[in-house]
Chains A and B, each alone.
Chain A
Amino acid sequence: MKDMKPVASSIRYTLFLGIAVTALGLIWTFLSGRGEPSDILSGLMALEPYSVMETGLLLIIISPMIGVVSAAVVFARQKDLSYLLVSLVVLSIVILAILVGML
């Protein structure tokens, strides 16, 4: 089952990107002393340091999810439909929870 490598690499790349962006954002926030903008999207557009940091955090947070998506793809390729379904169920629970949380 060495074809699980894409799962490992997808988690790693997302995580490292997230760590780098978070570190960048944190240092920048501290140096610029600017406070918290109200909205992350507009803050990111305006390149607010705090929003950059927040984006990094979100990247860190979603890295395992990228792994689950990757695993689903691998299961699909292996024609393992039951576990493709299980992965999609896990994914759906998180997405559903996000939607509920956004209310």
Chain B
Amino acid sequence: MEMVFLLGLVLTGVLAGIVGSFFGVGGGVIVVPALTILFGFTAQESAAVSLVGITASSSYAASFFISKDLVNLRLGMVLMVATVTGSVVGALFAAQVEEWALLALFSLVMAYSGFYMIRNPERLSAHSVMTGSGRIYSNRTEIDGRMMEYKVDHTASGVAVSGVSGLLSSLIGIGGGSVNVPLMNIWMNVPMKVSTSTSSFMICVTAMSGAVIYYLNGTLLPLVAAAVSLGMVVGSFIGSHSTRYFDGRTLRRQFSVFMFVIAAICLLEAGGIL
């Protein structure tokens, strides 16, 4: 493999890692479009490589959050039954799906994530209305020095939506955080910090399940995956240590514009225009 090619892949990974850890998204946002548009890989191949990178970076983040006791492992486990199932199904059938459909789907998710990033909704009070459905877990967790108690709500529908999140994850090579986090925080009444932390654990397990299937059926290109994921590891390190130097809100707004641009480009690619 050409040195330039390899270096390009590593740099793509570094950029994805920086962007991902900075904005709390997975690296899929950068990796998938770069690999399909710039490097000419298929949508499925790009998704596979992206999933390995996501596994690496989110695993590290997850381990960090778990040791800080911010992850609701029980809730995560229950939701992961659905996400992993969805992810495995997606990876097994991805080859059967037309590339343009995958790219269009990716474009849709990018647009949605862009909107979500601008609006940045958050359920601040974790103690609000209980509908009484699926109150399986209550949890106490220490956030910023305060003990917070919350009860998880809407477990059944949460599981259902998580299944979709998992399916999307392996089909288009994203982590699924943009579905998981609002699902847990807004719908299931979980505090934001616990939602993002638990999501990172869910993401790494979900991503790996898709990645392993892609590896077994040959969709995953090891050399490409190695280059990109190593880059992503370096990038996440840089990104997570740089957040203090920048104004989060302006950057998020700028980044969501970027995501709309990516969405448009991928849509054009899906239509065969690019």
Given contacts A12-B60, A26-B227, contact A101 B92 (CB under 8 A): yes
**CB within 8 Å: A-B pair count:** 143
Which of A4, A61, A89, A97 contacts B73 (CB under 8 A)? Answer: A4
* Bound: A7/B233 CA distance, A: 20
Bound state CA distance, A33 and B223, in angstroms?
12
Interface check B189, CB cutoff 8 A: no
- Size class of B's contact patch? 35 or more
Please tell me which one of the listed residues B60, B84, B213 contacts residue A15 in the complex, with CB atoms under 8 A apart. Answer: B60
Cβ-based interface call for B208 (8 A): yes
Q: Would A87 and B77 be within 8 Å (CB), given that A53-B223, A61-B55, A64-B59 are in contact?
A: yes
Residue-wise interface mask of A (73-103) relative to B, using a CB-CB cutoff of 8 A (1 in contact, 0 not): 0000000000100110110011001101110
Chain B stretch 12-69: residues in CB contact (< 8 A) with chain A: 52, 55-56, 59-60, 62-64, 66-67, 69
- Could you tell me which residues of chain A, from 27 to 76, have a CB within 8 Å of some CB in chain B? 29-30, 36, 50, 53-54, 56-58, 60-65, 67-68, 71
A76 to B77: give the CA distance in the assembly, Å: 14
Is B167 an interface position by the 8 A CB rule? Answer: no
With A22-B229, A54-B222, A87-B77 as contacts: A93 and B85 at CB distance below 8 Å: yes
Task: Decide if B205 touches A64 in the complex (CB within 8 Å).
Answer: yes
- On B, residues with C-beta under 8 Å from A are 1, 3, 6, 52, 55-56, 59-60, 62-64, 66-67, 69, 71, 73-74, 77-78, 80-81, 84-85, 88, 91-92, 201, 204-205, 207-209, 211-213, 215-217, 222-223, 225-227, 229-230, 233
Give the 9 A-B CB pairs with smallest separation, nearest first.
A101-B216, A8-B67, A8-B66, A97-B88, A64-B204, A11-B63, A8-B63, A64-B205, A12-B63
